[in-house]
Amino acid sequence: MNLIEFFTSFPEMSSESLRLFKKSVDGAYRSFSAKYGDAIEAVFDPVLYFLVWFEKLLHNSPWPLVILALLGLVYLGSRSIYLTIGSLFAFLFIGYFGMWDDTMSTVSIIGVCTALTIGFGIPVGILMSGSDRARAMITPILDVMQTMPSFVYLIPVVMLLGIGKIPGLLAVIIYAIPPVIRLTDLGIREVNKEVLEAADAFGANRMQKLFRVQLPLALPTIFAGINQTIMMALAMVVIASMIGVKGLGQPVLKAITNQYFTMGLLNGLAIVALAIIFDRVSQSYGKRMQQHRAGANE
Amino acid sequence: MSEVKIKIENLYKIFGPRAKEYTNKVKSGIDKDELLAKYNHVLGLDNINLDIKEQSIQVVMGLSGSGKSTLIRHINRLIEPTEGTVLVDGEDITKLNKADLLEFRRNKTGMVFQRFALFPHHNILDNVQFGLSIKNLDKSESKDKAMYWIEKVGLTGFENKFPNQLSGGMQQRVGLARALAIDPDILLMDEAFSALDPLIRTDMQDQLLDLQKNLKKTIIFITHDLDEALKLGDRIAILNGGKLVQDGNAEEILLNPADEYVSNFVKDVNRIKVLKIGSIMNIDGNMNESNPSVMVDESIENCLPTMLESESGLNVLDNDKNFVGVISKNNIAEILRRSKD
């Protein structure tokens, strides 16, 4: 090989060894998933069970009752009568145009995803805020989770667990959990050092500091993270529908492949309506906590 | 009054990763600037020895960076010493383990901060109760105690407000009530009144002195304001560059400043206002029945009118009306002259 050639074309590995490399990694993963796939699937059984139960509950209850319950939650969260009325019209629109069942499936998966991301994300965020080393280790993982195209990590998930709700749920969580973790970490780190010193001076131990000072003061920031997480989870419903998650994503997917413009638009609008409702409710709930903190509720 | 409550012995604090190694360098005489320039470590405290008497107000004074905030944080060990001991009631608190240290902080010391450091998410009642709730005290008992202190500092009716709804002076009263609510022996006040405007500050100083008459706590009060120090302090310790340059009562500091730093500090003080008759009187003199009398603990300023009216001098009496000395116009003239230099 002469010198000029070395500089003009990249000295890459031979295609033979590259093929061998890919083949052996794929083979190893395939045998791993064949061996442990069932066991790992079993771990997720309780989640699947709950998800199915929740979806059935939303589907099988009479629709006026479900709307009433949802509106109740909207009002409790936002304390805004306008938003509640707006949501009522959104739900009526969704139902009238035949998207009720798909919407309920989406609501159920978003609901379960949000609960799981909060349940995992906040403790991880707390861990990160307490140790710079943990933060240095977790941050790049979060970067990968947020930037890696979702299709790429869908491949191993589907290989391992097949097509269905759980792989979809995992895909949504992987994509949506980083904001909760990051903002929990940030919120706790941003707590005023003097206030923390005061807690120390009065002999507060670590748990007392965390639960009485750090978390309450970080709550508005954490809530901004939860809000973002919900938005990102909604953005994932179309991609999740590709691996068999029921909901508004499926008709959208069908509309794309068949060029059904109206069908795509209607279902797209339903996703937008859900997003706006979730966003406004969680934002105004977060804001109310901030007001309380600022003492302006007197 | 005379029992030593807090005894600080050979206390060193150096900030930096290799603090221990550099303690010997500091002991052999290199100063704050040199340590920073040559070794990139900050000298916080340099061989501090200080006895703080029970039930007294010990003021610690110095410019910013002199180590006064560092020193006060060694008393409840918010800052770990590099070397030395801090004895409280004879117990070395630098040796306490984690659990004992928490107990010590929960029961023995209350702290008041320069920028209040109240909990913004708690109302005033819960702020004052904070130290009690950390101790897991019974709810109704802790509420009673908190309400007592809220009343004592004059904030009744505000217990459901949040800190940012209160003015600075009121917030610091909450800070004071929060510290006193745990009924500590020792009150640590870190520039507690420095962030308040002058009128409120005077007000708070009077309130503190008033409270102290009954409370008889051991108070360590940090300030950079000499007038405040002279007004509050039973004793005043002056720090410079991490070193304790002088510790004495107001008169000692004013009349015999230990070095140039201290004399610069006290240069502009109105001596006739601060100094008491007793510190400049002549104890060799004889009682003169025809002269008017003044009390020994009166300030010079208050005696000036009587002095100017009198022909020769004044008799000085103690609190039991016994004759203790005389004072002449010359004594006062000398003090006035000295403060002019």
The better pLDDT of the pair A152, B86 is held by B86
Q: Would you place residue A298 in the very low, low, confident or very high pLDDT band (cuts 50, 70, 90)? A: very low
Give which of B121, B125, B182, B191 to mutate to test A binding, by max A Cβ within 10 Å. Answer: B121
Cross-chain CB nearest to B134 (options A197, A204, A216): A204
Low-confidence ranges of chain B (pLDDT < 50): 1
Residue numbers in A near B113 (CB within 8 A): 194, 197-198
Residue B24: burial class (beta carbons within 10 Å; 0-12, 13-18, 19+): exposed
Residue A19 scores a pLDDT above 90: yes
The reply to whether residue B130 touches residue A202, judged by beta carbons under 8 angstroms, is: yes
Listed in sequence order, the residues at least 6 apart from B112 whose beta carbon sits closer than 8 Å to its beta carbon are B172, B175, B176, B178, B179, B187, B188, B189, B190, B192
Torsion of CA A41, A46, A50, A52, to 10 degrees: 30
- In this prediction the ipTM stands at 0.85
The full DSSP string for B158-192 is -TTS-GGGS-HHHHHHHHHHHHHHT--SEEEEEST
Structure tokens at A60: 């099988």
Residue numbers in A near B74 (CB within 8 A): none
The reply to whether residue B131 touches residue A208, judged by beta carbons under 8 angstroms, is: no
pLDDT, average across residues A72-93: 93
User: Which of A172, A187, A61 is closest to A117 using CA atoms?
Assistant: A172
Cα nearest neighbour of A196 on chain B: B117
The domain ranges of chain A are 18-294
Can you give the pLDDT at residue B155?
Answer: 93
CB pairs under 8 A between A and B: 74
CATH classification of B273-340 is 1.10.1740.10, yes or no? Answer: no
- Residues A83-120 have pLDDT tens digits of 999 999 999 999 999 999 999 999 999 999 999 999 99
The reply to whether residue A202 touches residue B106, judged by beta carbons under 8 angstroms, is: yes
CB B147 within 8 A of CB B114: no
Residue A82 scores a pLDDT above 50: yes
Can you give the pLDDT at residue A296?
Answer: 42
Q: Given the DSSP bridges, would you call strands B4-15 and B83-88 parallel, antiparallel or unpaired?
A: antiparallel
Cα nearest neighbour of B75 on chain A: A201
pTM of the model: 0.83
User: Which of B282, B254, B220, B278 is closest to B339 using CA atoms?
Assistant: B254
CA angle A106, A107, A111 (to 5 degrees): 115
Cross-chain CB nearest to B102 (options A203, A212, A213): A203
- Quote the minimal CA–CA distance from A297 to chain B in Å: 10
Cα nearest neighbour of B110 on chain A: A202
Residue numbers in A near B178 (CB within 8 A): 202
> Which residue is listed with tokens 């050639």?
A5
Share of chain A above pLDDT 70, in %: 97
Cα nearest neighbour of B119 on chain A: A195
H helices of chain A, in order, are 3-8, 15-43, 45-60, 63-78, 81-96, 100-130, 132-147, 150-161, 165-176, 178-189, 193-201, 206-209, 215-235, 237-241, 249-258, 261-294
Which CATH entry fits the domain spanning B4-108+184-269: 3.40.50.2000, 3.40.50.300, 1.10.10.10, 3.40.50.720? 3.40.50.300
Strands in B169-272 per DSSP E: 186-190, 218-223, 235-240, 243-248
Cross-chain CB nearest to A201 (options B111, B120, B133): B111
The domain ranges of chain B are 4-108+184-269, 273-340
d(CA A211, CA A234): 31
The per-residue pLDDT of chain A, averaged, comes to 90
CATH architecture of A18-294: Orthogonal Bundle (1.10)
- Contacting A with CB below 8 Å, chain B residues are 76, 78, 101-107, 109-111, 113, 115, 117-121, 123, 130-131, 133-135, 160-165, 178, 182, 188
Cα nearest neighbour of B102 on chain A: A203
- Quote the minimal CA–CA distance from B336 to chain A in Å: 44
Q: How far is CA A205 from the centre of its chain?
A: 33
Phi first, then psi: what are they for B115, rounded to 5°? -105, 40
d(CA B46, CA A225): 47
pLDDT, average across residues A260-277: 92
Q: Would you place residue A291 in the very low, low, confident or very high pLDDT band (cuts 50, 70, 90)? A: low
| Three-state DSSP state, A203 | coil
Can you give the pLDDT at residue B2?
Answer: 64
Cross-chain CB nearest to B164 (options A194, A216, A295): A295
Give which of A194, A202, A205 to mutate to test B binding, by max B Cβ within 10 Å. Answer: A202
Q: How far is CA B257 from the centre of its chain?
A: 18
CA distances from B90 to A10, B87, B96 (A): 75, 5, 13
Residue numbers in B near A194 (CB within 8 A): 113, 115, 117
Cross-chain CB nearest to A201 (options B76, B135, B162): B76
Residue numbers in B near A198 (CB within 8 A): 111, 113, 117-119
- Contacting B with CB below 8 Å, chain A residues are 192, 194-195, 197-205, 208, 212-213, 216-217, 292-295, 298
Indicate if the alpha-carbon torsion angle B263, B269, B274, B276 is positive or negative. Answer: positive
The reply to whether residue B78 touches residue A197, judged by beta carbons under 8 angstroms, is: yes
d(CA B47, CA B80): 15
- Quote the minimal CA–CA distance from B325 to chain A in Å: 48
Can you give the pLDDT at residue B334?
Answer: 81
Can you give the pLDDT at residue B274?
Answer: 80
Residue numbers in A near B130 (CB within 8 A): 199, 202, 212
User: Which of A250, A32, A49 is closest to A159 using CA atoms?
Assistant: A32
Cα nearest neighbour of B104 on chain A: A203
Longest pairwise C-alpha distance within chain B: 71
Cross-chain CB nearest to A195 (options B119, B123, B135): B119
